[in-house]
Structure 1
């Protein structure tokens, strides 16, 4: 009897992210009940618009005063209440993620200007060997019109970085490819 061997499907990375990277309170940048806290929720979608169920979304942000509790903050590290500044959430079976946070303050630029309030986002997912990096901006910020990152982008691309307001906070889908692909940065 001759056995026919087949090729194992290629998989460059994972799906280990949802197993090894998240921790229980990872989606809480601030504790539940923090004044001004809201949720940012969305989905990670592949090029066909299908959910990516084994991704991890990380957020890193300034506190409401635009400061970081980190030695690299040129104005000095500052601790704001129980704010940790960092969140990590695995996507569920439908590709959904969510973090509880507060709105960050604007950040100074090296030339005396200001960046609009935003969250820095890293995405880890199957088939991607390095993290993908993007940002989430808020739709109700006048400072978006002068943000050096947003204004450097084509208006259609700019729209992929702005969350939508919802009753619970904000909604932000991350699209890996295709129509309305999220802008990713080479950092």
Structure 2
């Protein structure tokens, strides 16, 4: 009997309904009892507490108001925890989304350096118009020396492009914060990694 080859299933983008299933409050729905959301570090978690925030922009410089982001990071000692537990003071995995104002926020701790590299936070971005989520990293601008020696940042040949992965230190309502805007395309396009 001859083998019949099947056609590949067409690809599907992540939006515009990703918020309904994964970012319930952003979509205007009540949250589930157990929700992995944007508070990775609770009060009392060891380490330097920070707020991360930013916008996601399309190639025309317009805000993307329905992006969904996932973050994973090491703790303040540079150690990844493989298990999520809602009762822990710090979990190395969190989620957030942009809403009507286009802003995303995440409460966490500043990670320690991992494997002789600079402190960083890994993130994935899901949005309408992209078929496969995008991966990138967030580094900190007050870590210039470790950033300069980081092996992953040094894979990016143009120094100006490396800057697209660096979050800028600021203050929000008296709290230490870092701003990290993501540009999908254009002159300021964020570096994304191909895994």
TM-score where L is the length of structure 1: 0.82
Q: Take 2:22 and 2:110, find their aligned partners in 1: how far apart are those partners?
A: 25
Q: Number of matched residues? A: 163
Report the CA distance between 1:14 and its aligned residue: 1.8
Q: Take 2:112 and 2:82, find their aligned partners in 1: how far apart are those partners?
A: 15
SS of the aligned residue for 2:152 comes to helix
> Are 1:44 and 2:46 matched, yes or no?
no
Report the CA distance between 1:57 and its aligned residue: 1.1
> Are 1:186 and 2:194 matched, yes or no?
yes
Residues 125-140 of structure 1 correspond to what in structure 2 (within 5 A)? 125-140=127-142
In structure 2, the CA distance between the partners of 1:128 and 1:61, relative to structure 1 (3 Å rule), is same
Residues 74-89 of structure 1 correspond to what in structure 2 (within 5 A)? 82-89=89-96
CA RMSD, 1 decimal? 1.8
Q: Take 2:57 and 2:118, find their aligned partners in 1: how far apart are those partners?
A: 26
Which segments of structure 1 move beyond 6 Å, counting only runs of 4 or more? none
Consecutive unaligned residues of structure 1, counting only runs of 5 or more, are: 1-10, 72-80, 109-113
Report the CA distance between 1:69 and its aligned residue: 1.3
Q: Take 1:45 and 1:143, find their aligned partners in 2: how far apart are those partners?
A: 28
Verify the 8 A CA contact 1:18 1:91 in the aligned structure 2.
no
2:97 to 90, 109, 114: 90
> Are 1:157 and 2:161 matched, yes or no?
yes
